């Protein structure tokens, strides 16, 4: 079961560039977190349908 992450516990670790798309990594190096909208842009998924993309992600991966 995944744990909810508190906003105050999340800090930007670094900015990454993957497939010519720049996005920010949050959390820790051991437990990286990414914004779903950034991932959607990177894989060329509609950013307006990010909620649908997240429905396809396993709960333990969210």
pLDDT tens digits, one per residue of 15-49: 888 878 788 888 887 888 888 888 888 888 898 99
Distances from the Cα of 22 to the Cα of 16, 49, 60, 62, angstroms? 6, 20, 25, 21
Domain ranges of the chain: 7-61
What pLDDT score does 39 carry?
Answer: 87
Q: Per-residue confidence at 55, pLDDT binned at 50, 70, 90?
A: very high
Give me the mean pLDDT over the 48-55 stretch.
Answer: 91
């Amino acid at each position: 079961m995944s744990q909810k992450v508190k906003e105050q516990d999340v800090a930007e670790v670094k900015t990454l560039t993957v497939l010519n798309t720049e996005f920010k990594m949050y959390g820790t190096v051991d437990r990286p977190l990414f914004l779903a909208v950034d991932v959607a842009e990177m894989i060329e998924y509609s950013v307006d349908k990010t909620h649908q993309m997240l429905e396809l992600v396993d709960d333990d991966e969210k």
